[in-house]
Structure 1
Amino acid sequence: MSDEEKRRWKGPTGNKGSSGRQMDERKVFAHRAKSESSKKWIERQLQDPYVRKAKDEGFRARAAYKLLEIDEKAGLLRRGQRVVDLGCAPGGWLQVAVAKGAAEVVGIDLLPVEPVAGAHIVQGDVNDPDDVARMLKGLTGKPDLVLSDMAANTTGHKQTDHLRTVALVEMAVAFAVAHLAPGGAFCSKVFQGGATKDVLEMLKANFKSVKHIKPPASRAGSPEIFVIAKGFKG
């Protein structure tokens, strides 16, 4: 399903609750979906309790609960932090960081992101130094936590998709190593059983502890898992 179809299906961001009319409209949209995969994605969303919970509690995406559950196990988020969210669209992780009391929260994404109260958001590329500089202007010092929920659009070719995902993880790790404050932490989505050997070696060389977590909000059938690194050596 295309990103545009998903945005149209979700409707306005930040709305609380789901009226019967909204549900009926989504069923109609599912019926009109261009492909069978699009219909299945929408039907799964309609039945997903995390999607309903996100709407009820004002989060922009079910992914917010992935971060909340990761934090419950790993203790990443704390009051007064400076937080960077790479690939922040549609803004659910930014909302969680703000809600958890982060002092400064910044995010960047290639896609436009609706404003989040308490967050500085830049539409741009993590690979572009100028875009990164614009994002980091929202912080008064080095970040204490770097988050990445980035994922490449799938092509259907397993090897190609794997390589594209690995490249994003490597990009996020390189950013964390270049910018984190000493003692800081890092969390990134990875796939296919966890981080690659090269990524793990880089993380272990730069952090005191590294582990993988698959939060309950991550669908059982999804290959995604998250790598958590704490205690940046600086």
Structure 2
Amino acid sequence: MSYLNREMELSEYIYDNDLAEPKQMGEGDEAEERVVDIYEGSDNYEGHKAATPSAVKPGRTFVRAQTFCLLLLCVLLLAGIIGTGLHCRIELQTHSESWAEERKQTLVELSDFCKERCTSFNNSFYYISSGKKSWDDSREDCKGRGADLVIVNSKEEQMFINSVTLVVWIGLTDREEEGTWRWVDGSVLNSTVFWRYSEPSGKLGGGKNCVDIYWYREERSWNDEKCATQHHWICERMIDF
């Protein structure tokens, strides 16, 4: 076969193959349909993505639930504060009413204490007797007035008692134990600053177990004396309101 003939056959073969290509278009169409299907699937995926916001709703619901719980907690906390405030107010009112009642009762007792006469100094009221009695009888009189014999707690009070310018019994004795001086409230005397020089003189005996204000013109005016001696006395009633 000549070279020219072989070239012509080759051209025809190529031409035939080109003509066969339209037959393969079916496969291309199918591929195109597949591609369309892919795009449709992609659209569906996009549609799924479009539906994604609805999938996010549970998260928003959770946030709303948290917000609701926080608001509820705040309401409960506020209710607790209000409840505590009301409780404190009721307690304060009850305490105030109780204090007012006690104050009223104290004033009634004080009025009875001062029905004859009395004087005041700092937080205490004092009854100064006009008559004379023994130490024991003087104390009984004070108790009957809702008080007791005076207890000297300071230099100022000592000077106040001296200013009465009377020999008076005070609430100090060593009856329980010789030489151990105690006030009528049971407390032990811890200072000797107001004893008269050389007093107490009954520490060696003689039955001088009660104390009076004898040298009232001097700061150091205390003197131990026999409890049966007749003196004026001073009752003290402390007031705390």
User: TM class by shorter-chain length?
Assistant: under 0.3
TM-score normalised to the size of structure 1? 0.25
User: Which structure has the greater CA radius of gyration?
Assistant: 2
Task: Report 1 or 2 for greater relative contact order, CA contacts < 8 Å, sequence distance ≥ 6.
Answer: 2
TM-score normalised to the size of structure 2? 0.24
Which structure dedicates a bigger proportion of its chain to helix? Answer: 2
